[in-house]
Amino acid sequence: MQSSSRIEKICANLFLISVAFYLMLIFSEAVMKFFLFHPTYDFQAAGMLDGHGKDLKVELIPDNLYKIKPNKHWGINNDGFRDIDYSTDKHGLKRIAFLGDSFTMGLNVKADETMPKLLEKQLRNYQVYNMGVVGFGPDQELNVLKKYGFRYQPDMVIEAICALNDSGDIYKNGLYTLGPKGELEASKSNPVRTMVFPSIFSLYNEIHFIRHRNEIIDALDPLLFGDSYDLAWMKFSESNEAKFKYSLMKAILKETFDETAKQKIKFLAVIIPTFENMCNDKFFKDNNVDTGSYFRNEQIYQYILDSQKIPNINLVPFFMHLDNAQRCSLYDADNGHLSPSGNLYAAQIIKLYMDNHGIAVE
């Protein structure tokens, strides 16, 4: 009896020790995941943000590749956007969530010279939240809308589409793929998840990241921020890559529009023309792009949006209406982004659209 009782006590103690051990693992994992393991590195854009781009940091995250770390001094809010901290209380105002990439974020201009803020200045009783993030594609913008945009109860969502590289972004990001019937599906893996978060255990991931930090960053940085001109639609329209990009982009933009429609939120896509096809076609000539294909990307976006009855503005005709000097003044020749006057011109066109559609009328 005594032997049996002793064995029972030993088993009970071992069980308690095991439970305590697993609880400790769970607790340490939670601490690591939510408080300690947040892999970051310096933003590789020293020439942006008036020379202070190097002061920003990028945090790698598994579900949307990355976010810009908050930096009050340089105007990056707690959500990682270049704006004030947002409030869920609208104070009787209407609100626009403005999605996009570096053209929207506007790191080459002052915060009040960005497209969203210049639009806000033209509207009465509106807040326009700048949710653009440098390097983002429409796939990441869709995730931003779901995670942040809807939280702030927008009355309207505007998405700036960058004809230069958005189709390339959704391809290399690997956040979404297409199901057997062409439906949009979240990918089970992506470059950041594979390289930085290979395990479900944060402790392992942190050790892995510390050991391979330099090679991981060297591999990821050009993938995340190497926004070269995507020529697939312009030169290789019959390739499998070009066709997949078309179908994937169509599915992503449809999902974005459908998500806003479900909540009865107005939506507007704005196609941004590029510096190359407005002012300097050297890149196209160097890559043997036929002159008839210069606006191929913009035309495809226009077709995708129109075919799905998604409200949109294609800025190409508005820009082409100007003479060459005026047109080129809309761009910052050093980096190809919109200049202060370019952002203002685009904002004025958006405001005109809102007026004509009864959106901004008091």
CATH number at residue 99: 3.40.50.1110
Residue whose structure tokens are 């958006």: 350
* pLDDT tens by residue, the chain, 362 residues: 556 677 767 676 666 666 555 555 455 555 555 556 889 998 877 678 887 788 899 999 999 999 999 999 899 999 999 999 999 999 899 999 999 999 999 999 999 999 999 999 999 999 999 999 999 999 999 999 999 999 999 999 999 999 999 999 999 999 999 999 899 999 999 999 999 999 988 889 999 999 999 999 999 999 998 878 999 999 999 999 999 999 999 999 999 999 999 999 999 999 999 999 999 999 999 999 999 999 999 999 999 999 999 999 999 999 999 999 999 999 999 999 999 999 999 999 999 999 999 986 55
Same domain, 149 and 15: no
By residue range, what is the domain housing residue 274?
79-187+218-356
Verify that 13 and 159 share a domain, yes or no: no
| E strand intervals along the chain | 40-42, 57-61, 65-68, 94-100, 126-132, 156-162, 176-178, 184-186, 266-272, 312-314
Whether residues 9 and 84 share a domain: the answer is: no
The structure's pTM equals: 0.91
303 and 169 in one domain? yes
Instruction: Write the CA distances from 322 to 26, 43, 194, 342, 353, integer angstroms.
Output: 62, 36, 47, 12, 19
Q: What is the DSSP string of 93-109?
A: -EEEEEEESHHHH-TTS
> Is there a domain that residue 265 lies in?
yes
Nearest CA to 266 out of 98, 86, 16, 22 is that of 98
**Which 8-state DSSP code applies to residue 338?**
B
Same-domain status, 86 and 32: no
237 within a domain of the structure (yes/no): yes
1 in the same domain as 149: no
For residue 117, tell me if it sits in a domain. Answer: yes
Asked, for residue 25, whether it belongs to a domain, the answer is: yes
Judge if 90 and 183 occupy the same domain. yes
- Whether residue 234 is contained in a domain is answered as yes
Please provide the size of the chain in residues. 362
- The three-point CA angle 252-253-257 to 5° equals 120
Find the helix or strand (DSSP H, E) in which 260 lies: helix 240-262
Q: Quick one: 141 and 260 in the same domain?
A: yes
User: Which residue is it, tokens 């509106």?
Assistant: 126
Structure tokens at 257: 């529009």
Residue range 9-42, pLDDT digits in tens: 767 666 666 655 555 545 555 555 555 688 999 8
Work out the burial of residue 86: count CB atoms within 10 Å of its CB; fewer than 13 is exposed, 13-18 middle, 19 or more buried.
buried
> Is 192 inside a domain boundary?
no
Shared domain check, 115 and 18: no
> Based on the domain organization, do 28 and 108 belong to the same domain?
no
Question: Three-class SS of residue 182?
Answer: coil
Residues 21 and 132 both lie in one domain = no
Pinpoint the alpha helices (H) of 88-201: 102-105, 115-122, 138-144, 166-173, 191-196
Residues 241 and 94 in one domain: yes
Q: Is residue 24 exposed (0-12), middle (13-18) or buried (19+ Cβ within 10 Å)?
A: exposed
Chain segment 66-82, per-residue pLDDT in tens: 999 999 989 999 999 99
Give DSSP secondary structure letters for 270-301. EEEPPHHHHT--HHHHHTT--GGGTTHHHHHH
Cα gap 76→68, rounded to integer Å? 8
207 inside domain: no
Q: Crossing angle, helix 340-356 and helix 115-122, to 10 degrees?
A: 50
Tokens of 81: 């956007």
- Alpha-carbon 209 to chain mean position: 24
Tell whether 177 is covered by a domain: yes
Give the number of domains in the chain: 2
Cα–Cα distances (Å) from 181 to 4, 155, 249, in that order, read 63, 32, 15
